[in-house]
């Protein structure tokens, strides 16, 4: 790869931040580091395999925050296997749990880095909040519930259109048994499938808060049949 095709993301937003705040100057040497680490001075963090360890972390945090609160149903949390090669774990676990509502959490490509084109993937920003996906794979009533709840919480959120089955567990959850009302929440992610994936902790926190609020609104009487 030629030098003019390379860049190093250190989490900075300006030249002054790089030189004055982070103390990095032209010609400074670098080495690769693979462990979890803060990136820059903001909420960015870098690690291997945020796809989809960060989704599992979010689910665990949602369970922790739901503990001791009142809500109208039971919640099952699953960390699935083999999502990348056919969503196989989602097929078997959804069949076993047999849910009425399913929410999938997975990273989605952020467009705010030099290697990405907004015309290819849409406008998805790090720090822009949860990515609420809509499309034929997504139940429209559940989608509206997420959007309206984000508005009630005065929370930033982003929308992503998926015109066909998503490349996530959502596609298999939706088609389980006689069908499941399914939502997909995306976590903005840079450099997916690399050794240095980047997410924003603000986005993670907002996704947890939004998910807890939505789950607390769902009751057994609620219908997810579109009208």
Q: CATH no. for residue 154?
A: 3.40.630.10
Q: Is residue 6 part of a domain?
A: no
What's this model's pTM, rounded to 2 decimal places? 0.88
Catalytically annotated residue among 17, 21, 70, 83: 83
Question: 80, 85, 106, 73: which is closest to 95 by C-alpha?
Answer: 80
Nearest alpha-carbon partner for 133 in 169, 158, 97, 102: 158
Whether residue 108 lies inside any domain: the answer is yes
Contacts of 156 (CB under 8 A, 6+ apart): 128, 129, 150, 206
Query: What would the pLDDT profile of 29-80 be if each residue is shown by its tens digit?
Result: 888 777 899 998 889 999 999 998 999 999 999 999 999 898 888 999 999 9
| Residue 83 annotated in active site | yes
Token representation of residue 10: 């250190």
* Domain-embedded: residue 67: yes
Pull the structure tokens for residue 209: 């808060």
Cβ proximity of 76 and 97 under 8 Å: yes
Q: Is the pLDDT of residue 118 over 80?
A: yes
Counting every residue written for the chain, the total comes to 227
Using the 8-state DSSP alphabet, how is residue 136 labeled? T
* 227 is a domain residue: no
Written in H, E and C, the secondary structure of 143-185 is HHHHHHHHHHCCCCCEEEECCCCCCCCHHHHHCCCCCCEEEEE
Q: Say whether the peptide bond before residue 163 is cis (omega within 30 degrees of 0).
A: no
Distance between CA atoms of residues 42 and 209, nearest Å: 20
Domain of residue 76 covers 34-217
Domain for residue 197, yes or no?
yes
pLDDT tens digits, 163-212? 988 989 999 999 999 999 999 999 999 999 988 999 999 999 999 999 99
Answer for the pair 168, 104: CB distance below 8 angstroms, yes or no: yes
Domain count, the chain: 1
């Amino acid at each position: 790869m030629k030098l003019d095709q390379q860049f190093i993301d250190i989490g900075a937003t300006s030249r002054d931040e790089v030189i004055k705040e982070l103390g990095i100057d032209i010609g400074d040497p670098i080495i690769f580091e693979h462990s979890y680490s803060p990136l820059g001075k903001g909420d960015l963090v870098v690690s291997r395999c945020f796809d989809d360890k960060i989704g599992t972390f979010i689910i665990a945090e949602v369970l922790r925050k739901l503990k001791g609160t009142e809500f109208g149903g039971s919640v099952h949390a699953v960390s699935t296997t083999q999502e990348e090669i056919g969503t196989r774990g989602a097929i078997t676990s959804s069949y076993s749990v047999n849910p009425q509502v399913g929410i999938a959490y997975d990273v989605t490509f952020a467009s705010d880095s030099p290697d990405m084109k907004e015309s290819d993937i849409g406008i998805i920003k790090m720090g822009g909040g949860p990515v609420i996906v809509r499309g034929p794979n997504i139940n429209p009533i559940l989608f509206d519930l997420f959007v309206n709840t984000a508005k009630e919480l005065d929370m930033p959120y982003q929308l992503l259109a998926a015109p066909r089955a998503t490349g996530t567990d959502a596609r298999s959850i939706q088609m389980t048994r006689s069908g499941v009302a399914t939502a997909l929440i995306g976590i903005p992610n840079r450099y997916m499938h690399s050794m240095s994936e980047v997410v924003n902790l603000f986005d993670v926190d907002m996704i947890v808060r939004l998910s807890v609020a939505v789950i607390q609104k769902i009751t057994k009487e609620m219908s997810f049949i579109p009208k």
